[in-house]
Amino acid sequence: MDPPARSPGVIEGRDTAPLATPLERLPGVGTARAERLARLGLVTVRDALLHFPRDYRDFSGAHAVDSLRPGEHASLAGEVLDVASRTTAVGRALVVVTIGCTAGGRVRAVWFGMPFLARRFTVGTRIVIAGQPREVGGGWEFAHPEVRWLGADEVADGCDWLPVYPLAEGVLQSHVRLAVEAAVRHAADAWPEALPEAVLREKSLLPIGEALRQMHRPASAPLIAAARRRFVYQELLMLQLALRMHRRRQREERSATPLVIDHRLDGRIRARFPFPFTPAQDRVCREIAADLARAEPMNRLVQGDVGSGKTAIAVYAMLAAVGTTVQPPQGDAATRPGERPERHQAALMAPTELLARQHAATLERLLAGSGVRVALLVGGQAASRRERTLARIASGEADIVVGTQALVRGSARFRRLALVVIDEQHRFGVLQRAILQHGQADPHTLVMTATPIPRTIAHAVYGDLDVSVLDEGPPGRQPVATYRVGPAEVDRWWGFVRRKLSAGRRGYVVVPAVEDTRGAVASIASAYEELANGPLEAFRLGLLHGRLSAKAKAAVMEDFRSGRLDVLVSTSVIEVGIDVPEATIMTILDAERFGLAQLHQLRGRVARGGLQGICGAVTGGVDEPHPRIDAFVATTDGFELAERDFALRGPGDLVGTRQSGAPPLYLADLVHDMDVVAEARRDAIDMFDRDPGLADPALERLRRVIIDRWGPTLGLGRVG
């Protein structure tokens, strides 16, 4: 297990000596426990203070027996009246503790399979139990409740909340609680305050020492909320300031070649497309053209729903780059008659080799006869072909280069790279974009995602990018009719699919796993066999998954695209960008195993042409609730689904290093803390506009904290 991210506020220097104390030196921890705690990344006092609870248990003991409700969390204080242990009829050990409650009445606490617990309870001992009660035989019973033993003079008075910490294998809650409590006593007040006093007052935020104490030893639920809000606000404010510092540095230190798109070039580019642009595409093209004309690198994110025309935008931008010829240095001879003028180059990075090959084929068709030369660079190429491609890139012979991660692994050297387009931004990040920014002039960067992100979150995560939104699809494009297919409807669904295939349509069957590893999860191999010998035996089936060689994948896709196959049985490898207009029907097996955003991306594969697309989400358990599937069936609006997806699962790894280039957020939740996200962003903009270098002495400590945390990743160095 990876250790958690560290520190929303780390400052080097003498004032942090107590925070650097090894945990093994604290009373009650010792070497053996310290070795176990290191599995969680907890080595110093600082680490322990920042290991925030994931939850709290209410041990206030304030409930009375007559206020209990089945299944609702409650806590009761009382005295142990009886302890009994026995073996049940099926051979399981059972411990039963009867408790006389301080507020009146009695309850039972029971534990199965834990006979050793009987020794921990003594008649007359005062305890507090917490858990979910149930009515059994006319009385109340708590199964496996959490227990707190009260000292002789200790009172359960409504002010006792027990923290529940993230754990690792071999590390107990008791180990973490002991270490954290010792760390709070040792150094909570030694943590330097990063936020200016004026900000603490204006925002009614707890000072950092008090916030640390209330996170780990809270006096009440409101104080838990107040402590958490203080850290969430600080973290989000620092993130926004860091992104602005990064962007300012980019603008000051990097320059790009201005690429001016005049009316003639714009007309020539649009003439290449067999369709007119939508108003949304026109708007985004204008935004890109304005960026490209500047001498500073464009950094723009284009996000749009499935089928909204992002690929056309990417092609427009790349043709604008290669259509702007390189001006010879002053004093050099101009291009001689008949000689091809030197062009700028553009690169398109795709997340998979399958998609890169499709993009290259699309560009070859679109640019046939234009003189624009397209090259493909992917990991699956033969060594000889790869070397030839690298030579073409280095000499400038290749105008547009389409590739995968191979473009950023150090082997590709461009002669005149002016624009980088990154497809599916959530698969890449700031660090990978930076690898392609080299030389005297840095390329402009356009990044795209078909996974819509709520605007507030987009600003929080992609603060180093300008954001454009494609919020409409091509005219005449019909939404995909989507159905949930329960076990009772499966036979009828396959009959429907057969009728559509017999009428000349093509279809996908999507399976969540390559091999059977979790019981009911469909295996692509077994699914293929069952379909080929069952409901789809009359049709030509192909098999596609990530373990096939690049050559085999390309062959299967070509057979499907050309109509030599009727059905493609595939894993989610077809999730992004696969474009076969004749494929209009999709069946997703074990649909509940997929995320909502992934389901929507898959559905987009049958919304590519003029015919109505149809999607069936096959689920198990007729009566089981499936909030994701219900949301998936209810709407085809990707932006609405993004909001629901974030609400259901949170942002997940969206802001991890792999995707945004910044360390993961430590405590903030971009969905549930959306109001704080917006507030911190407003405050950061105001603070940065007034003092771009954060040079005010009152901000010095905050500035140092930001550079300590984000400096190495975002290249902040010294700012201002």
CATH number of 263-326+342-470: 3.40.50.300
pLDDT of residue 330: 52
pLDDT of residue 410: 54
Architecture in CATH for domain 58-164: Beta Barrel (2.40)
pLDDT greater than 90 at residue 675: no
Task: For residues 563 and 461, give the distance between their C-alpha atoms in angstroms, rounded to a whole number.
Answer: 42
Task: For residues 516 and 376, give the distance between their C-alpha atoms in angstroms, rounded to a whole number.
Answer: 35
Please compute the mean of the pLDDT values over residues 114-118 and round it to a whole number: 86
Q: Positive or negative CA dihedral for 62, 65, 68, 72? A: positive
pLDDT of residue 346: 94
Which DSSP category does 675 fall into?
H
pLDDT of residue 696: 92
Q: Which helix (H) or strand (E) holds 394?
A: helix 383-395
Higher pLDDT: 444 or 621? It is 444
At residue 156, what is the residue type?
A
The phi-psi region of residue 184 (left if phi > 0; otherwise alpha if psi is between -120 and 50; otherwise beta) is alpha
Which DSSP category does 62 fall into?
B
pTM: 0.64
pLDDT one-digit tens code per residue, 478-509: 788 999 998 889 999 999 999 999 999 999 99
Mean pLDDT rounded to a whole number for the chain: 82
Q: What share of the chain is helix, strand, coil (3-state, %, to 5)?
A: 40, 20, 40
Check: CB of residue 634 under 8 Å from CB of residue 606.
no
Please compute the mean of the pLDDT values over residues 615-622 and round it to a whole number: 83
Please compute the mean of the pLDDT values over residues 565-591 and round it to a whole number: 86
Which DSSP category does 622 fall into?
T
pLDDT greater than 90 at residue 307: no
pLDDT of residue 661: 36
pLDDT of residue 51: 92
Helical residues (DSSP H) of 38-143, grouped into ranges: 45-49
The highest-confidence range among 270-284, 298-312, 508-522, 617-631, by mean pLDDT, is 270-284
pLDDT greater than 80 at residue 425: no
Q: What percent of the chain has pLDDT over 90?
A: 37
pLDDT of residue 542: 92
Task: For residues 27 and 135, give the distance between their C-alpha atoms in angstroms, rounded to a whole number.
Answer: 43
Please compute the mean of the pLDDT values over residues 71-83 and round it to a whole number: 90
Among 96, 178, 99, smallest CA distance to 144 is for 96
Higher pLDDT: 552 or 501? It is 501
Number of H helices, E strands in the chain: 22, 22
Q: Roughly how many angstroms between the first and final C-alpha of the chain, as a whole number?
A: 39
pLDDT greater than 80 at residue 435: no
Q: Can you tell me whether residue 101 is helix, strand or coil?
A: strand
pLDDT of residue 62: 64
Task: For residues 41 and 6, give the distance between their C-alpha atoms in angstroms, rounded to a whole number.
Answer: 9
pLDDT greater than 70 at residue 571: yes
CA atoms within 13 A on the CB side of 607: 27
Q: Does domain 481-635 correspond to CATH entry 3.40.50.920?
A: no
pLDDT of residue 13: 33
The torsion angles phi and psi of 624, rounded to 5 degrees, stand at -75, 135
Give the CA distances from residue 276 to residues 279, 281, 579, in Å, rounded to whole numbers and listed in that order: 9, 9, 19
Which DSSP category does 43 fall into?
-
Domain layout of the chain by residue ranges: 1-54+165-192, 58-164, 195-253+680-720, 263-326+342-470, 481-635
pLDDT one-digit tens code per residue, 130-149: 888 999 988 999 999 888 88
Q: Which two tokens stand for residue 694?
A: 């954060």
Higher pLDDT: 432 or 273? It is 273
The highest-confidence range among 181-185, 523-527, 602-606, 652-656, by mean pLDDT, is 181-185
Q: Which helix (H) or strand (E) holds 422?
A: strand 417-422
Q: Can you tell me whether residue 625 is helix, strand or coil?
A: coil
Q: In which band, very low, low, confident or very high, does the pLDDT at 168 lie, cut at 50, 70 and 90?
A: confident
Q: Which two tokens stand for residue 680?
A: 């911190």
Among 162, 171, 182, smallest CA distance to 41 is for 171
Check: CB of residue 103 under 8 Å from CB of residue 176.
no
pLDDT of residue 433: 47
pLDDT of residue 437: 47
pLDDT one-digit tens code per residue, 119-134: 889 999 988 888 889 9
Q: How far is CA 29 from the centre of its chain?
A: 36
pLDDT one-digit tens code per residue, 90-107: 888 999 999 999 888 899
Within a 10 A sphere around the Cβ of 382, how many other Cβ atoms? 9
- Mean pLDDT lowest among 295-299, 515-519, 552-556, 607-611: 515-519
Q: In which band, very low, low, confident or very high, does the pLDDT at 155 lie, cut at 50, 70 and 90?
A: low
- Mean pLDDT lowest among 76-85, 139-148, 325-334, 383-392: 325-334
DSSP conformation letters of 293-343: TSSS--EEEEEE-TTSSHHHHHHHHHHHHHHSBPPPPTTSPPPPTTPPPPB
pLDDT one-digit tens code per residue, 219-255: 888 999 999 999 999 988 998 888 888 778 777 777 8
Q: Can you tell me whether residue 704 is helix, strand or coil?
A: helix
Asked, colleague to colleague, whether 263-326+342-470 and 481-635 share their fold, the answer is yes
- Mean pLDDT lowest among 416-425, 437-446, 496-505, 658-667: 658-667
Task: For residues 123 and 482, give the distance between their C-alpha atoms in angstroms, rounded to a whole number.
Answer: 62
Within a 10 A sphere around the Cβ of 309, how many other Cβ atoms? 23
Task: For residues 488 and 606, give the distance between their C-alpha atoms in angstroms, rounded to a whole number.
Answer: 25
Task: For residues 448 and 469, give the distance between their C-alpha atoms in angstroms, rounded to a whole number.
Answer: 10
pLDDT greater than 80 at residue 429: no
pLDDT of residue 686: 93
pLDDT of residue 402: 93
pLDDT of residue 347: 92
DSSP E strands, 571-698: 583-588, 614-618
Q: What percent of the chain has pLDDT over 70?
A: 82
pLDDT of residue 596: 82
Task: For residues 50 and 11, give the distance between their C-alpha atoms in angstroms, rounded to a whole number.
Answer: 14
pLDDT of residue 441: 62
Task: For residues 228 and 221, give the distance between their C-alpha atoms in angstroms, rounded to a whole number.
Answer: 11
Within a 10 A sphere around the Cβ of 192, how many other Cβ atoms? 16
Task: For residues 183 and 255, give the distance between their C-alpha atoms in angstroms, rounded to a whole number.
Answer: 48
β-strand pairing of 93-101 with 74-87: antiparallel
pLDDT one-digit tens code per residue, 3-14: 333 444 433 333
Please compute the mean of the pLDDT values over residues 426-450 and round it to a whole number: 60
Among 701, 703, 690, 698, smallest CA distance to 245 is for 703
Contacts of 200 (CB under 8 A, 6+ apart): 193, 206, 207
Q: Name the residue with tokens 């909502």.
A: 596
Helices 353-366 and 550-562 cross at an angle (nearest 10°) of 50
Q: Name the residue with tokens 């707190």.
A: 148
Check: CB of residue 598 under 8 Å from CB of residue 590.
no
Task: For residues 287 and 468, give the distance between their C-alpha atoms in angstroms, rounded to a whole number.
Answer: 8
DSSP conformation letters of 448-467: EESS---HHHHHHH-TTSEE
pLDDT of residue 457: 64
Q: Name the residue with tokens 């004309």.
A: 293
Within a 10 A sphere around the Cβ of 152, how many other Cβ atoms? 5
Q: In which band, very low, low, confident or very high, does the pLDDT at 622 lie, cut at 50, 70 and 90?
A: low
